[in-house]
Amino acid sequence: MIKIYTSPSCSSCRKVKQWFDEQQIPYEEHNIFSAALTEEELKEILYKSENGTEDIISTRSKVIKEKDIDINSLTMSEVVKFIKENPSVLKRPIMVDTHRIQVGYNSEEIMTFIPRERRAQMEEELMAKPADFEACEGDDCDIE
């Protein structure tokens, strides 16, 4: 099951949920402000992040600036504790499934969440469509 970590005022979160609804892909929404993330959820997100905290934490966050926090100097357990206490530092939305994570809305990258079988079917349908134009050579082309 795909989990989408969101916040109520996030426009990218709304776009992501709309996209999943349009694609009829089930997901579980988790509002990071109304229900605290568990230690296991945070570790899963961090583990799947290609660049660790850099991918998921906004270093421009008010909390980080006010407390003058250097995320890179914290241990894993300190990072988890810090995020649990300050969920607003997380970039949003965060989409996680069994294999991957995506942070933010990206219209091309989000396609990876379409089930493999459906993607293969979409590719077959695209390949089966006739070309909209015919190739021409030399003086036979009518290009204006």
Say which amino acid occupies 52: G
13 is catalytic: no
Report the distance separating Cα 55 and Cα 98, nearest Å: 18
3-state SS string over the chain? CEEEEECCCCHHHHHHHHHHHHCCCCEEEEECCCCCCCHHHHHHHHHHCCCCHHHHECCCCHHHHHHCCCHHHCCHHHHHHHHHHCHHHECCCEEECCCCEEECCCCCHHHHHCCHHHHHHHHHHHHHCCCCCCCCCHHHCCCC
Catalytic residue numbers, as ranges: 10
